[in-house]
Structure 1
Amino acid sequence: MNQGKMRNSREDRVRYMAIVDDIRVDIKSGRLNEGDRIPSQSQLMARYTVTRQTVQKAVAALVAEGLLITRVGAGAYVRGFNPIVRHNLVSPDDPHAVHTNSDTETTLDVDLDLSPPPTVVAALSLNNGDPALRHHRRVTTDGRTVRLATSWYPHDRGASVVGSCAFADRHAADGRNADRRHQPVRSRETVRCRMPDTAERDALSLSPGTPVAEITRHTYDEAGRCIEVHEIVLDGSAHLLVYELPLEPLREPTSDTQTVGVNCDRG
């Protein structure tokens, strides 16, 4: 590469970053608000003296950051956030949670998963080759799919009614098994933010650069056995998860209470 091409490459890089930085600052400072259209490609080309390719590269970077969305033939806009808010969450599907939007849940299928994921096999303590009852559903708000959910249950909990939609719907409605020996007593959730795979992006109709939140809940009975693995994939641009956790009051130490101190002084 000759000196002229190297210099041009460095200049393009500087101008490309200038476009990205300037638009990012305009969004974060409020000069550009949610839903505002940014200057057209032609306007940015003239303002920064760059090629159309450089402008497109800058816009793509801002889309990947989640700051912009693009509309075919209409330009690029500041991404808006009109969240589905859920309060007092044990999980996004908690029937006691406060919903500010009207959700509709649709069962896609209820079947025997003959090859459940290894994580499900381990959590439910299944033997290799054991099936699991699987309940897959889709949740829509105002006609748009915003959440995908899949639950797995040990096959032996509902052997007589495996494949029954009524059985699975009863789980979805109140989280209870007909066998009272396996009443849920506690659950544990993990939340992971990531980019969606192709199937999730298509199912949730996600714009480029939109992340998803993956919530995995394990529910346990009194014996400590995991009786449900529940995986939820949420549209990251459509949800605000609000967890309110009760705190126990601090107890005054008694003579029977041991106080453990940590000495951070290594000297």
Structure 2
Amino acid sequence: MRNTSDKTPIWKAIAAALRGDLAEGRYAPGDKLPTEAALAERFGVNRHTVRHGIAALVDEGLIRTRRGAGAFVAATPTDYPIGKRVRFHQNLIAAGRRPDKRVLQIEERAATDGEASALNIAKGDTICAYHGLSLADGQPIAVFESLFPILRLAEIAQALEDTSSVTEALRAVGVHDYTRASTRLTATRATATQALHLQIAQGDPLIRSSGVNVDEAYHPVEYGRTWFAGDRVTLTLEG
């Protein structure tokens, strides 16, 4: 008579099946897994058993769960250097990722006190604010806001409309090279809007980078603020 104690627990069998799905590429990094209800139907068990199996893969680092959003295949963090020259497309390509940007809004408005100080202009001067979403291999990794002084770069808004690349837009208005003058990194948590764009839960950890880029005459041409999804990038500082 067979010893039933040798049988594999159902939750371990579910974990093994899902592990096999990942190994075969059925789900790619960043993909959302089927719901607990759908998996329970697939395996013919209750949702508690499915949850136990998923928890095992979370412990292994293969799956990440987000409260209210579900379970996702863990993506390998993207290496993102921050140094004298920060170029989004070049950074992602160097990391073996496919870069893309999605324009959310381009607007002209008055500079706040802090923005004016960063751009070396007067409070209330007009700036161009470019809001966007950065993606790697189709997965959102950061939301950003780039601010430009209109007095110094009169046609920058139109240049950004023509190309989503900050480097190309600056080149179009006469700034052929720029470098990072300062960078500040802080930890924060996602707002509801940031969470929506990044497909994470409100309150999830973010890394906030703020920096000033200057032209060859050391005049500020961009004040950038970027909020990176904390589990999707590894920021590295270069000398």
* TM-score, normalised with respect to structure 1: 0.54
Residue 123 of structure 2 is aligned to residue 128 of structure 1 = yes
Task: Give ranges in structure 1 of 5+ residues lacking alignment.
Answer: 1-39, 44-58, 60-66, 246-267
Q: Residue 211 of structure 1 aligns with which residue? A: 205
RMSD: 3.8
Give the letter for the 2:173 counterpart.
A
Q: Residue 110 of structure 1 aligns with which residue? A: 106
Task: Give distance in 2, aligned partners of 1:133 and 1:73.
Answer: 34
Contact 1:95 1:173 (C-alpha < 8 Å) held by counterparts: no
Residue 171 of structure 2 is aligned to residue 139 of structure 1 = no
2:124 partner SS: coil
Q: Residue 114 of structure 2 aligns with which residue? A: 119
Contact 2:66 2:200 (C-alpha < 8 Å) held by counterparts: no
Q: Residue 95 of structure 2 aligns with which residue? A: 99
What is the identity percentage for the equivalent residue pairs of Structure 1 and Structure 2? 15
Task: Give distance in 2, aligned partners of 1:136 and 1:125.
Answer: 21
Task: Give distance in 2, aligned partners of 1:73 and 1:164.
Answer: 37
Task: Give distance in 1, aligned partners of 2:168 and 2:206.
Answer: 24
Task: Give distance in 2, aligned partners of 1:165 and 1:78.
Answer: 34
Residue 72 of structure 2 is aligned to residue 69 of structure 1 = no
Gap change, CA 1:118 and 1:196, over 3 Å in 2: farther
Task: Give distance in 1, aligned partners of 2:179 and 2:85.
Answer: 14
Q: How does 1:13-32 map to 2 (within 5 A)?
A: none
Task: Give distance in 2, aligned partners of 1:87 and 1:244.
Answer: 6
Q: How far has the Cα of 1:201 moved from its partner?
A: 1.4
Contact 2:97 2:136 (C-alpha < 8 Å) held by counterparts: yes
Q: How far has the Cα of 1:239 moved from its partner?
A: 0.7
* TM-score, normalised with respect to structure 2: 0.60
Aligned residues: 181
Task: Give distance in 2, aligned partners of 1:111 and 1:195.
Answer: 25
Task: Give distance in 1, aligned partners of 2:87 and 2:224.
Answer: 10
Task: Give distance in 1, aligned partners of 2:78 and 2:135.
Answer: 11
Give the letter for the 2:224 counterpart.
H
Pick the structure with more strand per residue.
2
Residue 160 of structure 2 is aligned to residue 184 of structure 1 = no
Gap change, CA 1:144 and 1:243, over 3 Å in 2: same
Give the letter for the 1:218 counterpart.
V
Task: Give ranges in structure 2 of 5+ residues lacking alignment.
Answer: 1-45, 50-54, 56-62
1:115-160: CA deviation from partner (whole Å, max 9, x where unpaired): 3343212211222321101222212234332211211111112325
Larger Rg: 1
Q: How far has the Cα of 1:232 moved from its partner?
A: 0.9
